[in-house]
Structure 1
Amino acid sequence: MTLAPPSPLSSSSGVRLRLSAQLAQVHMPRRIDGAWWPRSTDLTSELPLLLGGLPPGWGHVSSVLVGEAVWAPFPGRLLVADQVVRLRRTTSRQAPSTVCLLAPGRGRWDLLVVPPGATEAEAGCFMDSMDTVTKTA
């Protein structure tokens, strides 16, 4: 297990995140819940900022599933704010780059990942278009 570097765990921590409005979707393809623009491909330094910037109602995220192509090597577990978060990779190349956050008893949230090297204009377009992206459940 790796310890996350200390960071303020609040929405003022500098996380670049845009969340979509939560709409009830019965029998519809699962919508993307937001977009995240990390500053690097180092998941161990970026994830604490992301988790710290999430709404408190999302609860404790205990498991994170990320696309294989985006991230530098990372451990299987990470200690974030005194809680263990399990990290897993997916090799699926059919969906856009996403991060899946799982919180037991609270739910699942899927965020599009804006490439860290994107310009501000590119990231803005990417984040603005997230509401039109859906994926199958």
Structure 2
Amino acid sequence: MTTALAPALSARLSLTPKTTLAGLLDGAWWPRSRDLAAELPPLVDALEGRYGRITRVTVNPTRWPVVPHKAAVTGHTVHVGWFTEQDPDKMILLSYSVGRCDLLVIPPETEPAAAAQLMTAAALPGSVLTAGALMSDETATGRRMRDARSSENDWETDGGAAPAALRHPVVGARMIPVPGSPRR
């Protein structure tokens, strides 16, 4: 009896077109799960044509239940690091040839329409919006993630109220907090 392996799913990825306009993000990635070891190989395979051999990846561990030290990808190993200071909605990929690729990471449970909007916004050439700002804006416009919506409904029926989303006006490439708003 032979066992056939299921074909690997391609990465759901949107990249900024090649242009002279440098932005804060190089695009967006919408993984299918929070299993980083399983999700990294298709992402790295999709990026290596444009960025060369990806050798390192950094994430914020708050979005990933398990952060492996290494991930096996086609033909090599990628070293994975984590930094709590890094934006939790961003992933940084490093390569020998091109340098660095910064991606917005869209939570896997995000509704498809909201994910499409985020993927488009993150891939705009010259954008000065950070990953966190894009996610905050998406939440503020009412397009919520599936698990966030059910959590809010549970909270509301228990007598609590969800906090208002924190919004930051953009001035140049710096994020300036709105006076009197709580810090996150």
State the TM-score, normalized to the length of structure 2: 0.60
Which structure shows the bigger proportion of residues in strand conformation?
A: 1
Does residue 1:39 correspond to 2:32, yes or no?
A: yes
Which structure shows the bigger proportion of residues in helix conformation?
A: 2
How far apart, in 2, do the equivalents of 1:72 and 1:7 lie?
25
Residue in 2 that maps onto 1:68: 61
Unaligned stretches of 5+ residues in structure 2: 131-172, 174-184
Does residue 1:98 correspond to 2:90, yes or no?
A: yes
* Larger-Rg structure: 2
SS for the counterpart of 1:52 is helix
SS for the counterpart of 1:54 is helix
> How is 1:46-85 mapped onto 2 (pairs within 5 angstroms)?
46-54=39-47, 56-85=49-78
How far apart, in 1, do the equivalents of 2:48 and 2:66 lie?
28
How far apart, in 1, do the equivalents of 2:62 and 2:104 lie?
14
Q: Which is bigger in relative contact order (C-alpha 8 A, separation at least 6)?
A: 1
Choose the corresponding residue for 2:18, options 9, 16, 22. 22
Supply the AA of the counterpart residue of 1:86: H
The count of aligned residue pairs is 124
Unaligned stretches of 5+ residues in structure 1: none
Q: 1:110 to 1:7 in 2, by over 3 A?
A: farther
State the TM-score, normalized to the length of structure 1: 0.78
Q: 1:6 to 1:51 in 2, by over 3 A?
A: farther
SS for the counterpart of 1:62 is strand
Residue in 2 that maps onto 1:112: 104
**Cα RMSD after superposing both structures:** 2.4
SS for the counterpart of 1:118 is coil
What are the superposed Cα offsets for residues 31-66 of structure 1, whole Å, 9 maximum, x if unpaired?
200000000000000000111112513111000001
Moved over 3 A (4+): 5-8, 132-136
